[in-house]
């Protein structure tokens, strides 16, 4: 694309103002549905760049967990009098979720972040923000069913039960991660399975989440 832009600049010529020349060049770039005007500084080496699967895993786990957290918060129906985490009833899904993170999932840093977030926002207002590390993602994927089970209630409606099933189905990600993070011994069947797991995960996020992110 950069070579085409250079040819276009030469075609425009020198007998026009810089503003007109710039306008014609930018219109040409936009017409070609591109944003590239110059050759990348990385040059030919850009062809060897690979997507880092670690961040795909971390970001995906982060997004799934946030859905579970909001689900637990909505079901807990905390009153306005509950202003600190210590005053959250122990019988609520929100409390059980945090305790599960601390005891079973071994995600104490995440649990602490949720408690501070609740103290600051009372569970509303700004979105919960927490950047998953590789260790966080590994522990989340290993213990995801414990986490989902922690927010289950005997009185769940059909819709709420369905949401829990959706969270469990999102764990197609776990099978996909086990393949795309491999370094050795990847065979053709692995690639076939990877396509299936990723397709299932993508469709589930399309249908049953608030939207599809670049990570998904």
Contact status, residue 176 vs residue 190, Cβ threshold 8 Å: no
Closest-CA residue to 76 (of 123, 37, 41) = 123
**What is the H or E stretch that residue 47 is in?**
none
* pLDDT, tens digit, 9 for 90 and up, residues 58-115: 999 999 999 999 999 999 988 888 888 889 999 999 999 999 999 999 999 999 999 9
In the block, residue with structure tokens 């103002």: 17
Local confidence band at 166 (pLDDT 50, 70, 90 cut-offs): very high
Give dist(CA 165, CA 212) in Å, integer. Answer: 19
Report DSSP state, residue 1.
Answer: -
| pLDDT at residue 214, rounded to an integer | 82
| Cα radius of gyration rounded to whole Å, the chain | 24
| pLDDT at residue 2, rounded to an integer | 75
Closest-CA residue to 63 (of 187, 167, 153) = 167
Sign of CA dihedral 120, 123, 126, 132: positive
Listed by start position, the domains of the chain span: 2-48, 53-208
* pLDDT, tens digit, 9 for 90 and up, residues 17-57: 888 888 888 888 888 888 777 777 766 666 666 666 668 89
| pLDDT at residue 16, rounded to an integer | 78
């Amino acid at each position: 694309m950069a070579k085409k832009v250079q040819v276009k600049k030469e075609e425009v010529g020198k007998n026009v103002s810089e503003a007109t020349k710039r306008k014609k060049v930018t219109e040409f770039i936009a017409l070609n549905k591109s944003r590239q005007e110059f050759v990348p500084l990385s040059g030919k080496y850009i062809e060897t760049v690979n997507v880092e699967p670690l961040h795909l895993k971390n970001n995906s786990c982060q997004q799934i967990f946030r859905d579970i957290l909001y689900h637990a918060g909505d079901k807990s129906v905390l009153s306005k009098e509950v202003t600190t985490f210590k005053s959250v009833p122990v019988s609520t899904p929100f409390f059980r979720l945090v305790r599960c993170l601390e005891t079973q999932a071994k995600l104490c840093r995440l649990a602490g972040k949720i408690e501070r977030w609740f103290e600051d926002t009372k569970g509303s207002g700004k979105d919960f923000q927490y950047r998953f590390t590789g260790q966080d993602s590994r522990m989340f994927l290993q213990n995801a069913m414990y986490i989902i089970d922690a927010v289950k209630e005997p009185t769940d409606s059909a819709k709420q039960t369905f949401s829990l099933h959706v969270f469990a189905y999102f764990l197609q990600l776990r099978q996909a991660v086990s393949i795309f993070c491999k370094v050795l011994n990847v065979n053709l069947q692995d690639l076939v399975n990877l396509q299936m797991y990723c397709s299932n995960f993508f469709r589930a996020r399309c249908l049953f989440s608030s939207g599809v992110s670049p990570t998904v």
